[in-house]
Structure formats: structure tokens, C-alpha cells
Structure 1
Amino acid sequence: MTSPAPQPPENGHSATARVSAATAKAAQEKPPGRDARLDNAKFILIALVVVGHAIQPLTDYGPASALYYWIYFFHMPAFILISGYLSRSFDASSNRVEKLVLTLAVPYLIFWTAHQAIYTVERGGLPDSLSVLQPTWTLWFLVALFLWRLSVPVWQRLRWPVAIAIIISLFAATADLGSTLSLGRVLSFLPFFVLGLSLRREHFAYLDKLWVRVGSVLVLGVTAVLAVPISDHLSRDWLFWRDSLTDRDIDPLLPSIGLRLAFMGLALAMTIAVLALTPKRQTWYTSLGAYTLFVYLGHSVVLLILKNTPWYDVMTGPVGLAATLAAGVGLTLLLCTPLVRKCLQWAVEPQPTWFLRQDDNKGLARKEADARKRAAGSGTERERSSV
């Protein structure tokens, strides 16, 4: 036999180029991991949610009121923007919808029942309404996230989704939508969710620029100072994004719409500032950012019970504010611990075995295999008869 001709050695540059191209292709095919900056931001924001709810009964005290306003300027818009960004892959497939039901709808029903039980004990009788379509306290966010995620495919098809969402939000604010499904908040906060959907990973690179970080410090500092006079003169209704603009003391169109736009801009500027100043490296609390739903749902029950104790009668002034802040941060960390998560998992992350009908996949696969065997057998018989 003739030996094959020896091949010339590969050029070093071309080999390196091929290796680099293969590495780049592999990097593109490999799905991106969790973003440490977003996990850090989620933990910071959920801590602010708990702190804001914890200090709410203390807002007759000036510094507590100013801190409450400052937190409410941006904490939910920021959380919603991140939620929108993390919802980009939602395609309304059956598996996605099933997961949506298990992670949002079922926990909603469980904690709605828990809230109503606490209200019943507090009032000494059943509330006026027991409609599950009227979210209790913090549960509006689960309803909103459920509806927003179902609408993701629609927003991804539109040419100007953010502009359309802003228009819907502004017009919705001029109508009295009532408390059913918290539609006022669902539509008012919609632009932040849609903006999050429209963002891409490369957009977050701008947050690392020096001028953005310097501007972020200024934004948070200025808004902290402005929160003091604003907390004395502006109604909290502007912070909740819940009620119609028609029931305010000013005209519901020109001044009110202008104020709503101003609050949108303020919330967006503070959201960008917080994200820019949030570490993008792994920190001691990065892993805790994955457990925000445990904190969000669990803290509501704890604080509802705490409000029916003498805590807020005793905790007043600067000492009460400091103690309540410490309690809020401590509660956030406690709800992230493995033991507490294990105790709450049945309610926060319920398994589908007791809620959804399970298809007999093994039986279906067995039937398909039998059908293929029968088809193959009949084909063999036909071949034999033809021979």
C-alpha cells in the first residue's frame, strides 16, 4: 500500500484563529449564568421592601417618614424593571404557563388565605369581601407579575413597546379601576416591566462608566434630601401608583399627568443609580438574591402579626426607628435561611403533584412503542407476502 503523503504542518496563526473561533462559538452556545449584579440588586431591593413595610407605622416621626418616601420613590419600579428583564424568555408555552401558575397563582391563593385569616382575628369577624380577585396588601405584585408575564409575547412583537406602555399607564391613571386584580397598579407600573423586557445584557455595561457612578451618587443624595420636604407636603397616594388621578385635589389631566411622568422619571433615575452602585461581583449576599419570593411572601405574614402586638406602641422616636430598621433587615436574612425556606417551600414553591393533573408519560410512551412495533410487524408481513 502506498503511504499517504505527509501533510504540511498547520500555520500557527491559522490554528490559533480556528481555536479562538471555536472558543467564541462555544461561548455563544453556552447559556449565560446568573448575573451577580442582578442577584445583588434583588436582595438589596427586597430588603428595602421589608424595611419600608416595617417602618410604615412609624411615619408620624419625621425621619421615618422621609426614609419611607425615599424608599417608595423607586424600590418597586426597580424590582419590576428587573422582573421584566428576567422575563424575556417567557414564550407562553405550556411548560412556562404551568410554572407561572405554580410559582405565582398557587402561592397567591395560599397567602391570600393566610392574610384573610389574620384580618379575621384582628377584626373579630369575617371581612366585608372574600373575593380572591381583590389582592390583600402585598399580594398585588403576584397578580401583576402573572398578568405581565402572560403578555410578554405581545410586547415583544410591538415596534415601540415602551412608548405604548407609557401611554397605557397614563390613560389608565385617569380612570377609576377599583381594587379588582389591582388593575390600577398593574397598568401604572407596566412601563417599568416593558422597559425591562426591552433591555439587553450589553445595556448594563453602561452602568460601569465612571460618570454614571458619580451621577448615581448625586441622584441618590439629592433625592434623599428632597424626601424630607416632599414627605411633609405630598400625599402618599403618589407613591403607591394605585388610585386613580381623578380623586386628587388637582386636575386629573395636565398637572396630574405631569406629576405622574415626573415620578416615572424619578423612579427610573433612581433605579439606574441603584443598579450602577450595586456590586457586579460575587458578595456574601449574592446567593440570597435567588430567594426574594420567600422574603416577599413570608415577611407580609410576620409584619401583619407584628402590627397586632405592642411593638409599635413601644417603638417610637429614633430608638424605635433604629430597632425597627434592624428588625426589618434581620427578618430579611432570617427568611433566606435554609431552615425557614424549607418550612415555607410547600407554600412558596408548591409541587404540582397536588394541584395539577399528571399525565401518564410512561403509559403514553409504551403505547407509542407498541404502535411502532405493530407497524413494523405489518410491514414485514407485507414484504414476505410479496416475495
Structure 2
Amino acid sequence: MASSATSQAPRPRDDGPGATARTSEGRTEATAQPPGRDARLDNAKFILIALVVVGHAIQPLTGYGPAGALYYWIYFFHMPAFILISGYLSRSFDASSNRVEKLVLSLGVPYLLFWTAHQSIYTVQRGGLPDTLSVLQPTWTLWFLVALFLWRLSVPVWQRLRWPVAIAVAVSVFGATSSLGEILSMGRVVSFLPFFVLGLSLRREHFACLDRLWVRLCSVLVMGVTALLAVPISDRLSRDWLFWRASLTDRDIDPLLPSIGIRLAFMGLALVMTIAMLALTPKRRTWYTSLGSYTLFIYLGHSVFLLLLKNTPWYDVVSGPVGLSVTVSLALALILLLCTPWVRAGMRWAVEPQATWFLRQDGKGLAGKGTGASRRAAAEREKSSV
């Protein structure tokens, strides 16, 4: 695939899977669809964030066979697919000062705020301070914000390389043969890197191939076969292979062979299932297309809710098929709740912090570059340049 960032098609907005559609006044509108915005990607983002929430919600129930199989099936591909889309939507990132400041505001500040929230819950849960208070060690779901922050900073490097995907695969596979520890979730940053770089290398014409009938038929087959495959795998294979966070040296088998072979097999499985999911995702606008713009609200909001839920008797009470059904229904209801305007309005200060709230206003940052109409005009110029 091409490694250059240039294309005849309009370049995608640098909004990533967690951004929202905004008007020139800075307010979110569910119906706003900027020119050139791909409905298929918004649909896919919503489907994937739904799988994220469902997977996290049913994790304590995985001792029940069907729940364990569903959990494994979701983890086969949902994060690799999310990361591939994130890479595609990051193609226009050029590491300019404006883009870096936006990166800090959209990922760095929410990370700090929700890291504090997670640690507060852990402190109450344990009745004392956690083992570490290092902000460099992400809590639970926040590893993705750290990874996306680092991946986006590296975009100009990957766009300069001749064979970026092959190099990323080599870095991922051989990097996993050494212990990377938990600082900045480097294990996952390195392991998932090929999917982000592959997304950077994609063009709109590649997505057009997904509309062919034989691709869609094969995609149905892939999703069905992998669902059946998840049943025996959930009983026999460690979850460490699904999380992509631990070094291959931490397993009970040789870190080179067959560990590298298994890692490559899971990488291939995730890629095939990602292609199948995108092929089966509607490319037209649906009732949930606009909700695909609110994935960061869902991603950050559900983590706090589920951490609190796990400190209640809920998972001691629910079990079996009824418990699984009720928990999945609760997860889906939570997703829709977090998309409502009033919930987003209450979370916006933390999920979409304003530059004036965090950055200095001495003319050296976004917060100091004019006020009112001048800032809006600058924002419009920025939009038209990507």
C-alpha cells in the first residue's frame, strides 16, 4: 500500500474516533456532517465502541461459557479495527504547533482528568492509596489515549518511510520479545502499532473495494466462522493473547517460536475480521451515524460507570443466560445514555476542554490567538486546510 500522505481524494478531518462534529460556534450538533465525512466510518466507530462497552461489561461473567465465547470474539478484532480507523483519520496530522496543541487538549487533558477519577475510585475501593500514583502508568481503559497520543506524534515519520506497514509489523513482533513494562502502556503501543500504520496507508479507493458482493459474502462467512472458533479458544487459550499488552517473554512457551507465530496469527485474524466488519458496515447514513461522533464521551464515561458498578453486588447477583442478557442490555442502554445531549453537556468540560481552561493566554498558544470571531475564523481556516 502507498505510504505517502497525498491523495486525490479530500483529506480526512483530523478528528479520530473520539472526536465530535462541531459547528463554527463550537457546539456539538448530531446532524452536522461536514463535507466529505464518511458515513461508513462513523457507523463503524459506533459499532466498535458498542463492542468495547459490551466487552468490558460482560468481563466478570466470562466464567459462563457463552459469555466467555462472546468476550473472546469481541476481543479478536474490536481494538485493532478501532485503531485502524484512528490511523486513517490521522493522515492529515503534520505535527504543527496547532495540531500538537489540539492533541494535548483532546487526549492529554482528558487523560489526566479521568486518570484522577479512576484513581479516586480505586482509593475508595481499597480503603487506601493505590500501589502507584504515577501518571505515566495508565489506569484501565486510558491506555488507548496514551497510545493514540504517541501514534499521532509519530505520523510524519511513518509517512516518510517506504515500507511503513512492514516496518511496523517488525517493530510490533520483535518488540514484544522484550519486557516493555506498564509505563505509558508501551506493550500495547508497540503491539497494536501495525494497525495504526496500516490505517495511515489506506486511501478512499481501498474502502470502495469493500462494496463488492463477493467481499460481503466472504465477510459474513468470516464473522460466522470466528464466532464458532471463539468457543473452543475461550476454554483453551490465555486472555493475554487477546489483550496485546504483555511481553511474549511472560508466557509459559518459548518467546520466539511458537510465540511469534501465534502473535502473527492473531494479527492476521484481527485484520481479516476488521475487513469483514467494515464490509458489513452500512455506508449510508443510519440512525446511529451521528452517534459515531461521540465515541470519546462513551469511551471515557463508561469506564467510570463500570468501575463503580463493579463495586456493587451486581455481578454477585446476575449469572447465566439471564445475567448475560441483562448486562448486555444495560451496556447498550449506557451507550445511548452517554450520547444524550444533556450527558454530553455535563461531560464536555472534561472530554472536550477549552483552550482557555488549560493553556496559557499570553499569545503563545491557541488560547491567546485572538478572541471571539477571530478564533472562530482561525478554526474555520484550520478546517479548510485538512
Structure 1 distance, partners of 2:314, 2:369, is 54
Corresponding residue to 1:356 among 330, 355, 359: 359
What 5-or-longer segments of structure 2 have no aligned partner? 1-8, 13-33, 372-386
Corresponding residue to 1:255 among 253, 258, 283: 258
Q: Within the alignment, does 1:293 sit opposite 2:296 as a pair?
A: yes
Runs of 4 or more consecutive aligned structure 1 residues displaced over 6 Å after TM superposition: 27-31
The number of residue pairs the alignment matches comes to: 338
> How far off is 1:28 after superposition?
7.1
Structure 2 distance, partners of 1:138, 1:362, is 36
Map of 2:383 onto structure 1? none
Q: Within the alignment, does 1:234 sit opposite 2:237 as a pair?
A: yes
Structure 2 distance, partners of 1:50, 1:111, is 17
Structure 2 distance, partners of 1:165, 1:307, is 37
Distance 1:36 1:308, change over 3 A: same
1:79-121 Cα distance to aligned partner (Å, 9 max, x none): 0000000000000011100000000000000000000000000
Distance 1:361 1:290, change over 3 A: closer
Q: Within the alignment, does 1:338 sit opposite 2:355 as a pair?
A: no
Distance 1:362 1:332, change over 3 A: closer
Q: Which amino acid aligns with 1:186?
A: V
Q: Within the alignment, does 1:204 sit opposite 2:168 as a pair?
A: no
> How far off is 1:36 after superposition?
0.3
| TM-score, scaled to structure 1 | 0.85
Q: Percent identity at matched positions?
A: 82
Structure 2 distance, partners of 1:41, 1:227, is 22
Q: Which amino acid aligns with 1:291?
A: Y
Greater radius of gyration (CA): 1
What 5-or-longer segments of structure 1 have no aligned partner? 1-26, 364-387
Map of 1:266 onto structure 2? 269
Matches within 5 A, 1:106-117: 106-117=109-120
Tell me the secondary structure at the aligned position of residue 254 of structure 1.
Answer: coil
Q: Which amino acid aligns with 1:40?
A: N
Q: Within the alignment, does 1:126 sit opposite 2:136 as a pair?
A: no
> How far off is 1:247 after superposition?
1.4
Map of 2:106 onto structure 1? 103
Map of 1:64 onto structure 2? 67
1:51-105 Cα distance to aligned partner (Å, 9 max, x none): 0000000000000000000000000000000000000000001110000000000
Map of 1:190 onto structure 2? 193
| TM-score, scaled to structure 2 | 0.86
Map of 2:80 onto structure 1? 77
Structure 2 distance, partners of 1:361, 1:155, is 31
Map of 2:182 onto structure 1? 179
CA contact (8 A) 2:248 2:255 kept: yes
> How far off is 1:354 after superposition?
2.0
1:238-265 Cα distance to aligned partner (Å, 9 max, x none): 0000001111111100200000000000
Q: Which amino acid aligns with 1:74?
A: F
> How far off is 1:212 after superposition?
0.3
More helix by share: 1
